[in-house]
């Protein structure tokens, strides 16, 4: 049995939750339990036998209000009530800064008898720790490992240490602290994973220990023909508008050929500024779609768009992270435009494997416009590119195969220990 320690729970909507679902697809719910530290609206409770939640808000309430409880088991029968409570908490929880968050957890008042009893009841054989930029993630993993005398498998989905900019004395101090607790937990882990080849290469070299690549994977779908003969072509973007991705969408929209209409499917809040900029660029906001509606929206698209911000801080933050959308886009069998800085890992997947049109955002508007005009008016090229993307996804992002291989690697690691 595996205890997954992470900020977020399993989810078909949230990026980290989607990645976890793809990784643990070949595990039975009875083989999984989860300890989460953030309030979350959509949790796919059917993926594991039990979920325990403890957040900063729980710790603060216990400290200030002398509450007897500090989090607790996520009761599936009362899920609607819990979601309502979590939704209220999340508005405040996400605003807690890094240092304060670590200080809150350092109080250790979350180490309740209730939590210890839950861990002992679940009796896991292995901790799968989704590491992050906060010390408390690693402290949680170490606490459970010591309590149960079990090993830690480690996974990093984002880079918070190597490339993100750390300016000034506080920034450098933060990086020094972070590097110390990264090295400590990495040295204690028995196996390590990271999102994509680039991150694994960088982390293996930086820490001197082997990291294995694993990414969001998808079920193999039947290839569907792309109707690229029509006069008006639909280019669709699916995902969040955070990290100023909306600015990149607005910019490229103004540079597209006249026969391209651009649709944005997102759950992000739309500010007045974003709406105005999208209106000026003729970008149509479609809202959020999931499940069958998402599949239909992708199938009805002729071209798919992925963007990454070229602003200094954001390009550093996303440099080693591969978007969860990339495998989903590739499996759709549609030509993909990647727009952003070319050093970012998501762009490398498209350009290195020649499965997408990777457009450098550092080029001038006229240069970008010329590239798009040539590429997007070559229908045979677009059809061939979509089919190549599909074949690449089948060979590299088959959800069943990747999850089976992942399970086998974890089992072998536990057995060898």
Q: Please tell me the predicted confidence (pLDDT) of residue 46.
A: 86
pLDDT of residue 172: 87
Q: What does the alpha-carbon distance between residue 299 and residue 223 come to, in Å, rounded to a whole number?
A: 10
Q: Report residue 224 as tokens.
A: 């569907």
Greater pLDDT, 79 or 191: 191
CB 285 within 8 A of CB 279: no
Listed in order, strand segments (DSSP E) in 202-241 are 212-214, 233-238
Q: Please give the structure tokens belonging to residue 18.
A: 């989607």
Average pLDDT over every residue of 371-380: 95
* Residue 13 binned pLDDT confidence (cut-offs 50, 70, 90): confident
Strand 50-53 and strand 72-73: the pairing is antiparallel
CB 402 within 8 A of CB 408: no
Q: Are 137 and 127 in contact (CB under 8 A)?
A: no
The Cβ of residue 34 has, within 10 Å, a number of other Cβ atoms equal to 26
- Span 268-274, average pLDDT: 95
Average pLDDT, the chain: 90
Q: Where are the domains of the chain?
A: 2-217+398-416, 233-396
For residue 96, the model assigns a pLDDT of: 60
Residue 117 banded pLDDT, cuts 50, 70, 90: very high
Percent of the chain scoring above 70 in pLDDT = 94
DSSP 3-state of 304: strand
User: For the chain, percent helix, then strand, then coil, each to nearest 5?
Assistant: 50, 15, 35
- Are 2-217+398-416 and 233-396 the same fold in CATH? yes
Residue 115 has pLDDT above 80, yes or no: yes
Mean pLDDT of 372-399: 96
pLDDT value at 40 more than 90: no
Task: Work out the average pLDDT over 284-309.
Answer: 94
Least reliable range by pLDDT among 115-119, 133-137, 226-230, 363-367? 226-230
The CATH superfamily label for domain 233-396 reads Glycogen Phosphorylase B; (3.40.50.2000)
pLDDT at 77: 46
The 10 Å CB-count burial string (b at 16+, else e) for 291-311 is: eeebeebbeebbbbbbbbbbe
pLDDT at 389 over 50: yes
Above 90 in pLDDT, residue 80? no
In the CATH hierarchy, which fold is given to the domain comprising 2-217+398-416?
A: Rossmann fold (3.40.50)
Q: Are 402 and 214 in contact (CB under 8 A)?
A: yes
pTM comes to 0.91
Could you tell me how far CA 25 lies from the centroid of its own chain?
16
Q: What mean pLDDT comes out for the span 288-310?
A: 94
Helix (H, G, I), strand (E, B) or coil at 325: helix
At residue 81, the pLDDT reads: 47
Q: Is residue 91 over pLDDT 80?
A: no
Say whether pLDDT at 177 is over 50.
yes
Phi, psi of 284 (to 5 degrees): -100, 125
pLDDT at 99: 77
Task: Supply the pLDDT for residue 109.
Answer: 92
pLDDT at 75: 62
With b meaning 16 or more CB within 10 Å and e meaning fewer, what string describes 61-88?
bbeeeeeeebbeebeeeeeeebbeebee
Q: Give CA–CA dist 236/263, Å, rounded.
A: 5
DSSP 390: H
Q: Compute CA distances 188 → 53, 151, 414, whole Å.
A: 25, 8, 14
Query: What is the rounded CA–CA span in Å between residue 291 and residue 103?
Result: 39
Q: Which pLDDT belongs to residue 416? A: 65
State yes or no: pLDDT of 74 exceeds 60: yes
**pLDDT value at residue 274:** 97
Q: What is the pLDDT of residues 189-206, one digit of tens each?
A: 999 999 999 999 999 999
Structure-block tokens of residue 150: 């079990």
Q: How confident is the model at residue 92 (pLDDT cuts 50, 70, 90)?
A: very low
DSSP 8-state class, residue 140: H
- Cα–Cα dist 366/232, whole Å: 22
**Does position 84 have pLDDT exceeding 50, yes or no?**
no
Q: Across residues 85-106, what is the average pLDDT?
A: 64
The reported pLDDT for the residue numbered 21 is: 94
- Window from 6-20, 62-76, 289-303, 373-387 with minimum mean pLDDT: 62-76
Instruction: Determine which of 164-173, 270-279, 298-307 has the lowest per-residue pLDDT on average.
Output: 164-173
Structure confidence at residue 174 as a pLDDT band (50, 70, 90) = confident
> How far lies 327's CA from each of 56, 218, 340, in Å?
34, 7, 18
- Summarised one tens digit per residue, pLDDT across range 327-343 is 999 999 999 999 999 99
């Amino acid at each position: 049995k595996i205890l997954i320690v992470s900020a977020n729970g399993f989810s078909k909507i949230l990026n980290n939750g989607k990645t976890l679902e793809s990784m643990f697809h070949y595990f039975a719910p009875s083989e999984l339990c989860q300890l989460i530290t953030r309030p979350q609206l959509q949790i796919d409770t059917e993926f594991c036998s039990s979920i325990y939640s403890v957040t900063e808000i729980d710790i603060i309430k216990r400290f200030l209000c002398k509450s007897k409880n500090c989090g607790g088991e996520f009761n599936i029968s009362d899920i609607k009530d819990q979601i309502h409570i979590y939704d209220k908490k999340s508005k405040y929880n996400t605003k807690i800064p890094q240092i304060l968050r670590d200080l809150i957890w350092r109080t250790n008042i979350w180490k309740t008898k209730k939590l210890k009893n839950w861990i002992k009841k679940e009796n896991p054989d292995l901790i799968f720790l989704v590491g992050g930029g906060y010390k408390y993630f690693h402290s949680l993993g170490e606490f459970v490992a010591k309590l149960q005398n079990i090993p830690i498998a480690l996974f990093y989905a984002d880079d918070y240490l190597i490339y993100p900019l750390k300016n000034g004395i506080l920034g450098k101090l933060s990086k020094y602290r972070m590097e110390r607790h990264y090295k400590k937990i990495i040295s204690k882990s028995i196996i390590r994973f990271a999102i994509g080849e680039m991150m694994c290469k960088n982390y293996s070299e930086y820490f001197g220990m082997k990291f294995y690549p694993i990414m969001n994977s998808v079920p193999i779908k039947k290839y569907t023909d792309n109707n690229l003969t029509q006069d008006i072509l639909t280019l669709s973007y699916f995902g969040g508008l955070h990290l100023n991705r909306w600015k990149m969408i607005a910019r490229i929209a103004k540079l597209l050929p006249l026969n391209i209409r651009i649709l944005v499917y997102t759950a992000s809040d739309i500010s007045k500024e974003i709406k105005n900029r999208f209106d000026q660029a003729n970008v149509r906001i479609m809202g959020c779609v999931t499940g069958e509606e998402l599949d239909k929206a992708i199938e009805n698209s002729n071209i798919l768009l992925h963007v990454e911000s070229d602003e200094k801080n954001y390009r550093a933050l996303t440099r080693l992270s591969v978007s969860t959308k990339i495998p989903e886009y590739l499996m759709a069998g549609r030509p993909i435009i990647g727009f952003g800085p070319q050093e970012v890992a998501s762009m490398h997947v498209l350009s290195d494997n020649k499965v997408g049109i990777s457009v450098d955002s550092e080029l001038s508007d006229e240069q970008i416009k010329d590239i798009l005009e040539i590429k997007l008016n070559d229908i045979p090229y677009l059809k061939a590119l979509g089919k190549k993307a599909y074949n690449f996804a089948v060979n590299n992002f088959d959800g069943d195969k990747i999850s089976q291989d992942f399970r086998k690697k974890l089992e072998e690691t536990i057995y060898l220990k």
